[in-house]
């Protein structure tokens, strides 16, 4: 069996499923998961779209060969839905036990009798089964090429969890990371080392996030930003050197055309960030993309990340990353700092970090992707690019490194506690927090979720490769 398959489930769905399988009666219970599919070189993920609980005595009944089974009618209803919507079909039940689990001979016999036909009905879209113990899961997933795959389970909630067939011993962490491994353990350090994390926007905040991730020992980094450094970035972009902005050409005293020429030779922001990351870690793998994240092939690179930090102040980028989060079940954290000036007076200053977990309130539901801004960005993109150094609002907005550092630290800290499994169960699923230094206030915000939302609702949720992302052709 191949083992590069995983089933990804949200924290809320996992709560329902676990409560149903393990109500405390020590008995067996069943369910069906209908899943979207995401394939990449990192493996295949089955993204749980629907958890359909089998009612005891009605859908899940005593069998002739085995202990219990799903009724033919329950199976038929669900495989019909899967076939209609091109979703993978995964039957679920539980055994006793705690830290390890496997299918019984009876279970395997029933897969061998039933799954070739189900695979046929499902038009070749995978079918299979998971069996749970309270802290373990085993999988038997069938694909149309005649192969069978084992699978692990990943819960993308707060905290994040990972379940396997039996405990996987963590390698002793590299001694370089000894001080932080004392917090997160060897297992936490191993999770960091195996993580692929994207940073979209490598300006003031993104450059700090990149530095934190590299120093923490994250194994794989994806940096996306189309821009080059300009002299006004030097006070904020971590690792930027004066020579990166070609100071001889970009000096204020030079004519505009000379400065424009200098701007074309300035170092790309992704290259500065990659240089910083390599100074922090010998092992980190870095992919840099100096293009816009909303181009179709660039956006595709996000779809197998474990987390996305969104530090680009653009509504188009927000719409894209927000969609990736809910379509591919990849959490994101949107970060920013803002100084609002009204009539020449500073009205408010704040840093914000908004971590969105798949399946709960999204940026769109909370009015953070205004339609007017999308339209403005989409229509004036070419013009704005041509005149970037004169008219781009984002570049000339007030900004300071200390505000950026508050947002960046908060964002990476929340992520770290979540993947390290340290977030306590009372913590809310999403964590949106803003800091307002003028009034010394920290405001926590629980995002709302609206039904039928085009980003996190049923038109997109957990559909993986089957749905289109809001990108534009490159």
Residues near Zn ion (CB under 5 A): 104, 107, 362, 364-365, 453, 455-456
Residue 56's alpha-carbon distances to 50, 114, 130, 161, 330, in angstroms, are: 19, 21, 18, 27, 33
Residue 2's alpha-carbon distances to 75, 76, 115, in angstroms, are: 26, 28, 18
Name the minimum Å distance from CB 411 to Zn ion: 20
Name the minimum Å distance from CB 440 to Zn ion: 32
Q: Which is nearer to Zn ion, 33 or 362 (CB)?
A: 362
Cα 270 to Cα 202: distance, rounded to the nearest angstrom: 6
Q: Which is nearer to Zn ion, 270 or 365 (CB)?
A: 365
Name the minimum Å distance from CB 25 to Zn ion: 16
Cα 144 to Cα 147: distance, rounded to the nearest angstrom: 7
Nearest alpha-carbon partner for 7 in 164, 173, 172, 167 = 164
- Report the chain's terminal Cα–Cα distance, integer Å: 38
DSSP letter for 169, please: P
Give the number of other CB atoms < 10 A from CB of residue 93: 22
Name the minimum Å distance from CB 449 to Zn ion: 6
Antiparallel, parallel or unpaired: β 60-62 and 43-53: unpaired
Cα 147 to Cα 167: distance, rounded to the nearest angstrom: 25
Name the minimum Å distance from CB 52 to Zn ion: 18
The residue whose Cβ lies closest to Zn ion is 453
Q: Which is nearer to Zn ion, 135 or 287 (CB)?
A: 135
Name the minimum Å distance from CB 422 to Zn ion: 27
Length of the chain: 474
On whether the CB atoms of residues 455 and 322 are closer than 8 A, the answer is yes
Antiparallel, parallel or unpaired: β 161-163 and 196-200: unpaired
Name the minimum Å distance from CB 94 to Zn ion: 8
Q: Which is nearer to Zn ion, 107 or 227 (CB)?
A: 107
Cα 284 to Cα 323: distance, rounded to the nearest angstrom: 27
């Amino acid at each position: 069996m191949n083992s590069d398959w995983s089933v990804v489930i949200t924290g809320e769905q996992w709560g329902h499923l676990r409560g149903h399988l393990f109500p405390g009666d020590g008995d067996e219970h069943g369910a069906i998961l209908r899943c979207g599919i995401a394939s990449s070189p990192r493996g295949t993920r089955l993204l749980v779209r629907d958890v359909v609980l089998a009612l005891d005595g009605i859908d899940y009944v005593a069998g002739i060969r085995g202990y219990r089974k799903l009724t033919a009618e329950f199976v038929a209803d669900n495989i019909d839905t899967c076939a209609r919507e091109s979703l993978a079909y995964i039957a679920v039940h539980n055994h006793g036990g705690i830290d390890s689990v496997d299918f019984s001979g009876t279970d395997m016999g029933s897969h061998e009798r039933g799954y070739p036909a189900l695979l046929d009905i499902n038009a070749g879209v995978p079918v299979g089964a998971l069996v749970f113990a309270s802290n373990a899961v085993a999988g038997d997933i069938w694909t149309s090429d005649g192969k069978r795959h084992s699978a692990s389970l990943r819960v993308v909630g707060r905290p994040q969890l990972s379940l396997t067939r039996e405990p996987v011993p963590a390698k002793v962490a590299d001694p370089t990371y000894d001080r932080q491994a004392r917090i997160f353990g060897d297992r936490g350090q191993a999770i960091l080392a195996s993580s692929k994390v994207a940073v979209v926007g490598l300006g003031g905040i993104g450059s700090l996030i990149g530095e934190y991730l590299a120093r923490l020992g994250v194994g794989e980094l994806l940096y996306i930003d189309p821009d080059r450094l300009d002299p006004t970035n030097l006070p904020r972009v971590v690792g930027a050197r004066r020579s990166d902005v070609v100071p001889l050409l970009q000096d204020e005293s030079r004519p505009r055309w000379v400065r424009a020429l200098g701007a074309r030779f300035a170092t790309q922001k992704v290259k500065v960030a990659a240089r910083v990351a390599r100074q922090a870690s010998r092992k980190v793998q870095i992919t840099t993309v100096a293009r816009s994240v909303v181009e179709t092939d660039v956006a595709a690179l996000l779809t197998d990340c474990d987390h996305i930090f969104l530090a680009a102040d653009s509504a188009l980028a927000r719409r894209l990353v927000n969609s990736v989060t809910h379509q591919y079940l990849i959490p994101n954290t949107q970060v920013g700092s803002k100084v609002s000036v009204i009539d020449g007076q500073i009205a408010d200053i704040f840093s914000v970090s908004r971590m969105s977990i798949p399946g709960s309130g999204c940026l769109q539901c909370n009015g953070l992707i205004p339609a007017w801004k999308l339209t403005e960005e989409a229509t004036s993109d070419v013009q704005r690019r041509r005149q970037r150094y004169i008219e781009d609002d984002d570049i000339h907005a007030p900004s300071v490194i200390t505000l950026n550092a508050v947002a960046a630290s908060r964002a990476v800290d929340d992520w770290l506690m979540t993947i390290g499994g340290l977030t306590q169960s009372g913590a809310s699923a999403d964590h949106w927090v803003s800091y307002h230094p003028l009034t010394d206030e920290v405001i926590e915000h629980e995002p709302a979720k609206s039904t039928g939302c085009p980003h996190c609702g049923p038109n997109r949720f957990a559909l993986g490769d089957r749905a289109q992302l809001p990108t534009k052709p490159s």
